[in-house]
């Protein structure tokens, strides 16, 4: 089949518009349940985080909470944002800046029992780099502490 | 003095760019101006290169009275990183950006003899307008030559993650790719202004698109390998916004590369090609904005300064807006392209362009969505691999399937059956599919399909060579075949890595043995080692399998300036994969060790390099043909 030039151009424009719409609709469909929300322990305490959903949990590693299981590679720690806490576990080699009292962003999901299983601990590459989400969580935490005192 | 000379050179370059813009748009100078403007464009390169040389000089001498050096360098740094450190920061990298932009303009003025003088003048005018904006950005808000008074005793050092030979080449390579697309953009603007859209323009644009695309491909491949061995997570692509910032121009350039060929060879897809040229460079600028504005968080985000982000965003909106307005105004005047049937080479290339555009749209939305949502509702979220793999992955597979058929179709109208030719690829694909189901029943669907399509694509990508004399096959065809074969090789590598990787994570004491994949790894011991500006704990691992043993020495490094800990991965490459070792922390005499056996993972980057070299072969072929044609006409 051969089209008249004018129709051919119209067909191409039509195809481009359909492709654009398809891209946006596919993207929105994909984002609906695949965007990982950044959550804090307070969100979890308020019941805002459904279990088994892929999320990023941000906060501080509580002092004295970090322990390593006998296998030597499973880490248990408590993530806190001041008022609330979540117990998390991570199997693997954490980045070197992962320390008690330091900030952390853990990627993973919440189990029904309330424990957070992290697949990945995001590295804070150096002192000049800080995720803004984490920056906010830490600032909120600091503010909460000041109020408590 | 050197810093002041560099600054002065930048001002001179900016003045020359202003002159170039005037020459392009003063109508009474039309004929005269067209001649002079080429000279101005060429001369402009001199002061910019001087400014860049000055910047390198202050870094090599570690002149701490220059604020940029004090903030990013250190006298105890190895020389290579002193030089590379010049562009391992915000201001320096922007100067590099502008230098490549100006050099591209100069090269365009020097090389594009076949273009109509009026179109060339308008193109160089557009190029000057681009350069002016970025000169203004450098001079007004990101001056790399700012002085610091008093000068500190010692610099703050360079982020240790960036102290890697890859840093010396990765940003310049990507920048050449990004900025080379500016020429395609300017050519489109010039042609729309002078109503000169046609095959001649496409032939002038093609080498620039091809060249930029080659550099982008190499840059992305190298960046992926860098992330793989430097970050120590064993992954090669993270769908990090900064990676997406380089992927988006690549997707647009890939589409443009294919459509500009249609325009050059057949005179079709005129309007569409102009649109893509505008989109491709817009993506480069959007990438620069995303990376340089500090709104993203990553190793690449050097400075968080909202004023700079706003400035780049302003430039982006100005240039893209102006180009799109021009496009909307002039698109009607572009003459009709040559007709073609739905089933034809052109038809397949249109489909290729549509698929690439949809993937581009998906990556674009996924990358900007979190920024958008946070600005709108304050809600924080991140979009990662689950989204991109699920949404863009199937489309990439469709594109690969199209790639088997497209090159076999004839131009204009295809009415011969090609199913006979595709029997071998389909058989090989079926064997791969059956094999994967039997050998690896729990493979993910996407990896399985990737493996199947990749295996079928290997013979299919060679089909255009069949039935013709290999000696008389044009180099451009060879280039296409090599690049398409590279796609198949990379796909197999990706599928194999995600499906067959074996991991062993353990806390081990010296003397322990760990089994990972085909290897038995003996942990011999640890020893302290020291480098020029770091100290480290180094583990000695001896990995053995049937055909002998290799030693791996992963390190946990501590850098002195700035004090930072990093992990140095140890890799051992075999013909059928890579062994990857990371050492973690020590606890009660035992060390955390993470070992991976990654079968055929190296095919990912081999494929990437094949894609780039296919582009190189095609570029050489075009040059050779042009040169011969000129010889004959003389």
CA triple B571-B575-B579, angle to 5 deg: 25
Closest CA to B610 of B460, B432, B481, B450: B481
Percent helix, strand, coil in chain B, to 5, is: 65, 15, 20
* Host H or E run for residue B365: helix B345-377
A32 has which bridge partners? none
Q: For B66, which DSSP code? A: B
> What is the reported pLDDT for B618?
93
Note whether B298 contacts A: Cβ–Cβ < 8 A: yes
> What is the reported pLDDT for B299?
39
- In the structure, what pLDDT confidence band is assigned to residue A127 with cuts at 50, 70 and 90? very low
- How many other C-beta atoms are found inside a 10 Å radius of the C-beta of residue B111? 12
Note whether B272 contacts A: Cβ–Cβ < 8 A: yes
pLDDT digits (tens, 9 = 90+) for B280-336: 999 998 888 787 766 665 434 444 566 777 788 888 889 989 988 888 888 777 776
Residues of chain B with pLDDT under 50: 298-303
Note whether B110 contacts A: Cβ–Cβ < 8 A: no
Q: Number of A:B CB contacts under 8 A?
A: 144
> What is the reported pLDDT for B280?
94
> What is the reported pLDDT for B387?
87
Chain B, window 508-527: residues with a beta carbon less than 8 angstroms from a chain A beta carbon: none
> What is the reported pLDDT for B29?
52
Q: If you measure CA to CA, which chain B residue comes closest to A136?
A: B380
Dist CA B512 CA B590 (whole Å): 10
Q: Beta strand A74-80 with B502-508: parallel, antiparallel or unpaired?
A: unpaired
Closest CA to B403 of B480, B319, B490, B497: B480
Dist CA A121 CA A98 (whole Å): 8
Which residues of A are less than 8 Å from B391 in CB distance? Answer: 26-27, 29-30, 34
pLDDT digits (tens, 9 = 90+) for B483-536: 999 999 999 999 999 888 898 888 888 888 999 988 999 999 888 888 877 888
Cα atoms in the 13 Å half-sphere on the side-chain side of B305 = 11
User: Quick check: B98 and B134 in contact, CB under 8 A?
Assistant: yes
A90 has which bridge partners? A75, A118
Statement: residue A115 has pLDDT above 70: yes
> What is the reported pLDDT for B606?
96
Find all residues with CB under 8 Å of B536, minimum gap 6, and list them: B528, B529, B530, B555, B556, B557, B558, B568
Dist CA B604 CA B148 (whole Å): 46
- How many other C-beta atoms are found inside a 10 Å radius of the C-beta of residue B333? 9
> What is the reported pLDDT for B34?
64
Strand, coil or helix: B553: coil
> What is the reported pLDDT for B100?
93
Q: What is the mean pLDDT of chain A?
A: 74
C-alpha torsion sign, points A31, A32, A34, A35: positive
Radius of gyration (C-alpha) of chain A in whole angstroms: 22
Dist CA B591 CA B22 (whole Å): 67
Closest CA to B346 of B268, B401, B289, B416: B268
> What is the reported pLDDT for B72?
77
> What is the reported pLDDT for B562?
66
pLDDT digits (tens, 9 = 90+) for A26-65: 888 888 777 767 788 888 888 877 888 878 888 888 888 8
Kindly provide the ipTM of the predicted complex, given to two decimals. Answer: 0.75
CA triple B170-B174-B177, angle to 5 deg: 150
Dist CA B444 CA B590 (whole Å): 35
> What is the reported pLDDT for B486?
96
Phi-psi region of A47 (alpha: psi -120 to 50; beta: other; left: phi over 0): left
Nearest residue, CB atoms, B391 vs list A5, A30, A54: A30
Dist CA B300 CA B303 (whole Å): 9
């Amino acid at each position: 089949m051969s089209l008249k030039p004018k129709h051919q151009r119209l067909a191409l424009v039509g195809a481009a518009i359909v492709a654009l719409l398809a891209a946006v609709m596919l993207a929105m469909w994909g984002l609906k349940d695949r965007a990982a929300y950044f959550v804090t322990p307070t969100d979890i305490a308020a019941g805002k985080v459904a279990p088994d959903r892929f999320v990023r949990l941000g906060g501080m590693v509580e002092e004295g909470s970090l322990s390593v299981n006998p296998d030597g590679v499973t880490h248990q720690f408590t993530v806190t944002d001041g008022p609330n806490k979540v117990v998390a576990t991570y199997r693997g080699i954490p980045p070197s800046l992962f320390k008690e009292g330091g900030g952390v962003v853990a990627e993973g999901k919440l189990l029904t029992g309330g424990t957070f299983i992290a697949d990945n601990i995001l590295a804070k590459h150096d002192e000049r780099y800080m995720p803004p989400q984490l920056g906010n969580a830490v600032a909120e935490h600091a503010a909460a502490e000041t109020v408590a005192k | 003095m050197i810093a002041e000379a560099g600054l002065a050179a930048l001002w001179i370059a900016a003045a020359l760019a202003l002159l170039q813009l005037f020459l392009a748009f003063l109508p009474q100078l039309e004929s005269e101006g067209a001649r002079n403007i080429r000279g101005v464009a060429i001369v402009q390169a001199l002061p910019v290169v001087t400014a860049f040389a000055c910047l390198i000089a202050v870094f090599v001498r570690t002149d701490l009275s220059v604020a940029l050096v004090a903030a990013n360098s250190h006298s105890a740094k190895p020389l290579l990183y002193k030089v590379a450190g010049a562009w391992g920061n915000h201001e320096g990298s922007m100067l590099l950006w502008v230098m490549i932009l100006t050099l591209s303009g100069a090269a365009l003025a020097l090389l594009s003899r076949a273009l109509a003088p009026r179109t060339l003048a308008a193109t160089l005018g557009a190029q000057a307008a681009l350069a002016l904006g970025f000169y203004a950005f450098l001079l007004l808000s990101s001056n790399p030559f700012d002085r610091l008074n008093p000068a500190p005793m010692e610099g703050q050092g360079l982020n240790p993650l960036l102290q890697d030979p890859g840093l010396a080449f990765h940003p310049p390579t990507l920048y050449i790719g990004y900025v080379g697309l500016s020429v395609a953009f300017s050519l489109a603007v010039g042609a729309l202004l002078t109503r000169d859209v046609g095959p001649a323009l496409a032939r002038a644009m093609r080498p620039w698109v091809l060249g930029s695309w080659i550099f982008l491909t190499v840059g992305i491949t190298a960046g992926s390998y860098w992330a793989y061995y430097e970050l120590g997570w064993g992954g090669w692509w993270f769908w990090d916004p900064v990676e997406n910032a380089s992927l988006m121009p690549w997707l647009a350039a890939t589409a443009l590369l294919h459509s500009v060929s249609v325009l050059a060879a057949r005179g079709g897809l005129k309007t569409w090609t102009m649109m893509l040229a505008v989109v491709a460079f817009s993506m480069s600028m959007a990438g620069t904005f995303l990376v340089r504005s500090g709104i993203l968080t990553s190793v690449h985000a050097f400075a968080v300064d909202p004023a700079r982000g706003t400035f780049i965003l302003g430039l982006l909106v100005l240039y893209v807006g102006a180009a799109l307005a021009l496009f909307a105004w002039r698109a009607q005047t572009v003459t009709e392209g040559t007709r073609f049937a739905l089933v034809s080479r052109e038809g397949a290339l249109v489909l290729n362009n549509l698929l690439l555009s949809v993937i581009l749209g998906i990556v674009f939305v996924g990358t900007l969505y979190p920024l958008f949502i946070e600005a709108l509702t304050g809600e924080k979220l991140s979009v990662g691999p689950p989204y991109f793999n699920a949404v863009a992955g199937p489309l990439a597979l469709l594109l690969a399937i199209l790639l088997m058929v497209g090159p076999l179709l004839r131009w204009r109208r295809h009415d011969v059956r090609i199913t006979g030719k595709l029997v071998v690829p389909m058989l090989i694909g079926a064997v791969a599919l059956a094999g994967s189901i039997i050998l690896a029943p729990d493979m993910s669907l996407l990896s399985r399909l990737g493996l199947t399509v990749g295996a079928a694509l290997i013979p299919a990508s060679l089909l255009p060579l069949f039935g013709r004399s290999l000696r008389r096959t044009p180099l451009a065809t060879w280039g296409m075949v090599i690049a398409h074969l590279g796609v198949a090789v990379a796909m197999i590598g990706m599928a194999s890595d995600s499906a067959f990787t074996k991991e062993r994570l353990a806390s081990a004491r010296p003397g322990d043995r760990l089994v990972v994949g085909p290897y038995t790894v003996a942990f011999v011991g640890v020893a302290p080692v020291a480098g020029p500006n770091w100290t480290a704990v180094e583990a000695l691992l001896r990995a053995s399998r049937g055909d002998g043993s290799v030693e791996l020495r992963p390190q946990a490094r501590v850098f002195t300036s700035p004090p930072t800990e990093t992990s140095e991965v140890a890799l051992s490459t075999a013909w059928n994969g890579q062994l990857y070792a990371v050492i973690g922390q020590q606890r009660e005499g035992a060390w955390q060790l993470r070992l991976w056996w990654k079968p055929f993972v190296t095919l990912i980057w081999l494929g990437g390099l094949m894609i780039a070299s296919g582009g190189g072969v095609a570029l050489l072929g075009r040059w050779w043909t042009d040169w011969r044609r000129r010889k004959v006409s003389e």
